[in-house]
Structure 1
Amino acid sequence: MTDIKVIIPAFNEADSIAHVINELPKMVSEVIVVNNNSTDDTVINAEAAGATVLTETRKGYGYACLKGLDYVASKSKQPNIIVFIDGDYSDYPEELVKVVAPILENDIDFVVGARNKNLREEGSMTPQQVFGNWLATFLMKLFFGANFTDLGPFRAIKYEKLKELDMEDKTYGWTVEMQLKVLKKKMTYTEVPVRYKRRIGVSKVSGTVKGSIFAGIKILGWIFKYSIK
């Protein structure tokens, strides 16, 4: 039986986290919420919804994801697939079935849930997010011949392949680092279209000018770092 674990980085997602956990399909064996310095009831609500809750005090999306992976690695039984999804309820958790399908059915290594324009709720992505995704995927196509159209955080990967990537980014570059390393290691990948809606609460990255700038710098930095290797 396929063992699927979900990692959810969470910073002040008290109003949304239970929705995300409760709507994940039953095929998931464990939901791991990584509390990243929340000051609200994120931890209480996540635990009440049945998640395993970890705490990472160093702020950063990558730090939270790495904490979740350290926990998974510490267990005697390893999963087959790791799924990442945000805790803001902007994705549709039940679509995890679609996101993991290419791995289960076609032995694909890595899958990105692509937030296609025709499936996005109006206003669910800021103009800077849309432009940043376009620029990053355009550069990946230019430098690496990649077919990615999105840096969507809703993604699935075989656990053994994820370990090979040796992920290291601590903050905003986590998603693009993963995609670039998949390309560099010539792993198989695909995208599946997923719906996307306005998040609950305010984005900690795209919702601020500072966050958008730093995210953009991180993403472009990873792309150019790999393009000259």
Structure 2
Amino acid sequence: MYRRHTIGVIVPAYNEGGRIGDVLATMPDFVDRIYAVDDRSTDDTWEIIQSYAATSTRATAESAAVDASQSGGERIHASLPDGGAVVGSEIVPIRHAENQGAGGALRTGYVHARDDGVDIAVTMDADGQMDPDQLPKLLDPIVDGDADYTKGNRLADRPSRREMPPFRLFGNWLLTQLTKIASGYWRLQDPQNGYTAISHEALSAIDIESLPDDHDYPNDLLVRLNVAGMRVADVSMPAVYDDEESTIRYSTFVPATSITLLRGFCRRMWARFAADRLHPAVLCYAAGIAALIGAASIAVVGGANAISGDPSVREPIAAAFAFLAGAGFLLVAMRVDARDNAGLGVRR
């Protein structure tokens, strides 16, 4: 336990046989339960997880191998007490019957942690990039009652940013800006950071079973948290880069994440529209998007007229005016949106 709170750590893994052993072995003693989710690896990841689970402090028949189906697998029947009876970390090995992706593996761990009733569920990748000694920094804001969800932030200071490869740094910055708009958490950075913690209340308040399968799951999760009114804290957290290879396939990640962000933004706006049909942020966003679409349409008409030999200055002027109006509406919408969500972004 950590400050009278039970802690469950979810470790999703796919072909991490060379690293997952170190992650499991260096887990802090205050962690009560480790959900090691093998996403149908083709190397010896599953055998290593089983080996560590067999020697974990409280390994029992109920924490033996669980073959998880696409629906999330069997529920662990052992309940986690809210007292100090748990000694050491129990490793719960879970294996998917089929590969479900990074989000799918995390979803399975979340469902088990929620159903077992752990107070705080942590996610920690199996590639060794996340320092277990930093875990209290994620837990404290939740334990103190300041936040419902915390996440690592590798962009908080210059030394941490220098550790990140330039290509990842630029992509992370761009994705940060888009995720701010979609999620409403305007203070957050590094949205793809997989080192997170979530309270049992927040985990129970969102539809975790419908979390996306791929690497766009953090963006979708943030939208769900905002709609549920949960407070999110960014925690400065260094990352360790070694010779590991990213499992992200950008040919599928970029379009999938773009769709997730757009869908999440629309879901969040609809939730606000349903609560307040005259909400200024929703109205300004709608007006700005409509004006930009109008500007593009006018520009197309003007271009067609020019090609046909009937050029006119009216279309370019009208398109420019519509574009400026649209940009102005969007800036106002973002400002109002950021103001209204300021209380959900926690500074630590």
Match of 2:27 in 1: 24
Q: Could you tell me which of 137, 141, 145 is aligned with 1:102?
A: 141
Distance in 1 (alpha carbons) for counterparts of 2:262 and 2:204 = 23
* Larger gyration radius, structure 1 or structure 2: 2
- The yes-or-no answer on 1:114 pairing with 2:140 is no
Which 5+ residue runs of structure 2 have no aligned equivalent?
57-90, 268-348
Match of 1:208 in 2: none
Q: 8 Å contact 1:109–1:187 — kept in the other structure?
A: yes
CA shift digits 1:17-46 (9 cap, x unpaired): 111122221111011111011122212222
CA shift digits 1:118-147 (9 cap, x unpaired): 3448565461x3233222221233452521
Higher helix share: 2
**Residues 41, 200 of structure 1: CA spacing in aligned structure 2 closer, same or farther, 3 A cutoff?**
farther
Of stretches 101-110 and 130-139 in structure 1, the one that deviates more from structure 2 is 130-139
Q: How does 1:14-163 map to 2 (within 5 A)?
A: 14-49=17-52, 50=56, 51-56=91-96, 57-75=98-116, 78-116=117-155, 118-120=158-160, 124-125=164-165, 127=167, 129-142=168-181, 144=184, 146-151=186-191, 152-163=193-204
TM-score, structure 1 normalization: 0.87
**Residues 203, 142 of structure 1: CA spacing in aligned structure 2 closer, same or farther, 3 A cutoff?**
closer
How far did residue 200 of structure 1 move?
A: 5.0
How far did residue 55 of structure 1 move?
A: 0.7
Q: How many residues were matched structurally?
A: 221
- The yes-or-no answer on 1:186 pairing with 2:229 is yes
Distance in 1 (alpha carbons) for counterparts of 2:104 and 2:163 = 28
Q: 8 Å contact 2:36–2:92 — kept in the other structure?
A: yes
Distance in 1 (alpha carbons) for counterparts of 2:15 and 2:162 = 24
Distance in 1 (alpha carbons) for counterparts of 2:143 and 2:159 = 24
The structure, 1 or 2, with the larger RCO (C-alpha pairs under 8 Å, 6+ apart) is: 1
- Which portions of structure 1, spanning 4 or more consecutive aligned residues, are displaced by more than 6 angstroms? none
Distance in 2 (alpha carbons) for counterparts of 1:159 and 1:38 = 29
- Percent identity (aligned): 23
Match of 1:212 in 2: 250
- The yes-or-no answer on 1:164 pairing with 2:202 is no
Q: 8 Å contact 1:121–1:196 — kept in the other structure?
A: no
Of stretches 163-172 and 41-50 in structure 1, the one that deviates more from structure 2 is 41-50
SS across alignment from 1:28: coil
Distance in 2 (alpha carbons) for counterparts of 1:142 and 1:121 = 22
